[in-house]
A and B are shown apart, each in its own frame.
Chain A
Amino acid sequence: MMTTPQDEEGPRTTLASRITSLLGSGLVQLFLVCVALFWLMPTLGLFVTSLRSPQDNASSGWWTALLEPAQLSLENYAALLDNPDFVASFVNTVLITVPATVIIVVVASLAAYAFAWLEFPGRDWLFLIVVGLLVVPLQVALIPIAQVYGGAGLYGSILGVVLFHVGFGLPFAIFLLRNFFAAIPRDLLEAARMDGGREITIFRRVILPLGGPAIASLTIFQFLWVWNDLLVALVFADAQSAPMTVALQSEMRQFGANLDVISAGAFLSMVVPLVVFFAFQRYFVQGVMAGSVK
């Protein structure tokens, strides 16, 4: 959960309580309730829609189901899991996301370690170039990589999508990890080297445990980024390797006739990110804070 310094609250009068006494608590409550409704209602609407039959959805609003809960069922989800195309797109999302996350975390850890702890000529220049690459928008890389993939036979493949995500995510990943690794006390590393520790041992015994939180943040950040991506998959994946975002996006073109498929599919695609989000909220927030430059 997010950290709330409840314990050290003390006598501090919060700005919130002072504003409340200035404006009257009614007005402040009203603002908070409006925001809450605005943020919850749309998602609730999608969820309820996904539990209603196509006929019900076509004839009345989802909110009517709140009064007649009998019409709710899991049939849309059952139908979706019976649909081989949807299942394949779900599997594709996993096939893209897992390797893209593993590869980037490993490759970036190695590079960040070198930038933080090894002495070699041109180190600072190289790191500056990596940071500079943070500027490059995805769009700039699409056309040349599509041409490269065309020549290499990677166009349309899952591997192509994975490699693109890795290349594009690396500058941020290295930037994030280097800053954390550089903060590891020098003594610890020196001690490990003195003990005759080989690099692989130092990496495993010192860097991985101490850099753990940073690596966790990066892992979650990268996982959600790739899981939720549309553009890269739209350009580089063919029909067989398309992930859920692409499948849902193409369903949207006939919006209206397929509300049951879209609502249930969209909700299923959100389940994994939401579980990750609630399970690792602390790391996720750290990743987002550190990721302000991406």
Chain B
Amino acid sequence: MTAQPRWVRIVGALAVVSSAATVWLALWVTPPDKVQGNLVRLVYLHPPIAWVAIYLAFGLAALSSLLYLWRRTRSLFWDRVAAAAVEVGVVFNALTLVTGSIWGRPSWGVWWTWDARLTSTALLLILFLGYMALRRVPADPEIRARRCAVAALVAFVDVPIVHFSVVWWQTLHQGATVLNANLSPTIHGSMAWTLLLGFIAFTLMFVWMVAVRYRVEVLSDRIGDEELEVSLAERWAEGDQAEPVAAGTGNGNGTSGPGQPFVAEPSGSGR
């Protein structure tokens, strides 16, 4: 069983460096915008986070789920990647909403508005959370993987439909949204570079987080297997004894598994 590969460490280090550089550029080096003033500095933060949450994370989750379901590439690897991507995606998604809200308050005077993009993102968050809830239900890893993969795909198909319906909802009732007007300020020079760096930094951060989260998933599955083996072994040993006494091993930590199909009644018990 290999430890975390080296490239993960390298990506992590790069992520830290590029994030730090982005923050420094965003907060101190770049000039304030003519229209938005210092508020524009949130542009270096919010769109990259949104991009990671919506396209990278969710896209990866959907792709991995598809690859898991497809027989030729079926492997628990994809299931674990999907789970990792979703969890990281939830974090980034929540941050997208928070940073968007913080930007919105001084811009439009409200903490929330039923703008098309915010609404879609909020719904996306709930879809992600549903996946995580489903994943927490204890089950055999392959069964859980299949269930979650289907859930991810079914949700994924919904995303464009949600997007279109919400956009129509807004435009038919209020004209162009305020958010669109402010979201794409024309940016030049150092601002553009900073934005690009921001995208890179958060993407690296995402990759590192998914890699570590994947490892955590592998470990938890392995531990579940090992603990099952330990308790099985203990039960076998019990069966070998002339007078079995309930050993009361601590398997009460809720590890899942398909039950213990091999546990027979202790032999020679004379009951």
Asked if A pairs with B, the answer is no
